[in-house]
Amino acid sequence: MNEAGDGSDDLITAVTKRAEFLSALSSEPIPKRDLGDELRVSRSTVYKAVRELREHDLVKRTDDGLELTLAGRLLETEYDTFRGCVEDVRRTRQLLSILPTDCELPMALVDDATVALAERHAPNHPVQYVEEIVSEADVARGFSPVALPQYVELFHKQAVRGNMSAELVLERPVVRYLVTDYGDRLQEALQSGDLSVWETTETLPFGLIAVEGERDGVCVVVYDDRGELRGLIANRAPEAVAWGREIFESYRDGADYIGGQ
């Protein structure tokens, strides 16, 4: 490695600029003369790319052709992972941009996540997804800054029928709304023994549902500043589910118990 390639910024630039070469060499050695055909680039581009990568000790010559060094293989793997993270954020950024900037959402949540948007011609798409995962669950835990009529019906039905055990943390105005507009159903669900409710004075940054059953899962439900449903980000990866349970417990521990099982 020469002095021009000593800096970390130079190395990052080289990896980013020549990522397709690193990717092509990640499986097996390739003769330099075949690299241009493999990537459909000119011989001069191959020459420049190989020179830059060799300056950073990312590739080496072997009897079978050019191959990645250990350093090259490590950086190729990490760069591929980073590109995956970028793609995950790109797919979810419409909803992420609505959430408060200080929300501590983990990458595990957006990694290969399911995204459901409340679009003009399918405004109930996120609600349908929530109904699906809740209907399949044995246990559901969550919190919400709003009370959609569909959610009230769903949790009332599941609790009264004994199909599911649920724990909910709700903002104080939501509890008051339920008591005023759905008082009988709320009491019936609480008395069923399968629903517990806590009231919080905090402003919840989003809604959350974490389910347990044949398939565990978690989803973050996104509302805008007017309380309108904008979509959800869902994941069934163990890391994401564990985060969902942890953040639910943190809000539940700081809330006041209203009633239930």
Average pLDDT over residues 27-35: 93
Task: Give yes or no for residue 260 having a pLDDT over 80.
Answer: no
Average pLDDT over residues 25-44: 93
Q: At the top level of CATH, which class does the domain 3-79 belong to?
A: mainly alpha
Q: Which secondary structure element, helix H or strand E, spans residue 194, and what is its range?
A: none
Residues near 257 by Cβ (< 8 Å), separated by ≥ 6?
196, 197, 198
Confidence of residue 159 (pLDDT cuts 50, 70, 90): confident
Task: Give yes or no for residue 19 having a pLDDT over 70.
Answer: yes
Q: Which pLDDT does position 4 carry in this prediction? A: 47
pTM for this entry: 0.85
Look at residue 69 and give its three-state secondary structure. coil
pLDDT tens sequence across 185-223: 999 999 988 999 999 999 999 999 999 999 999 999 999
- The beta-strand segments (E) located in the chain are 59-62, 65-68, 114-117, 137-144, 165-171, 195-200, 207-213, 217-223, 229-235, 256-260
Q: At the top level of CATH, which class does the domain 98-260 belong to?
A: alpha beta
Q: Which pLDDT does position 177 carry in this prediction? A: 94
| Domain chopping of the chain, boundaries | 3-79, 98-260
Look at residue 112 and give its three-state secondary structure. coil
CA proximity to 108, closest of 251, 249, 242, 250: 242
Q: What is the DSSP string of 15-40?
A: HHHTHHHHHHTSSS-B-HHHHHHHHT
Q: Which pLDDT does position 212 carry in this prediction? A: 96
Write the DSSP symbol of residue 123: T
pLDDT tens sequence across 109-143: 999 999 999 988 888 899 999 999 999 999 999 99
Q: Which pLDDT does position 163 carry in this prediction? A: 84
pLDDT tens sequence across 36-95: 999 999 999 999 999 999 999 999 999 999 999 999 999 999 999 999 999 999 999 999
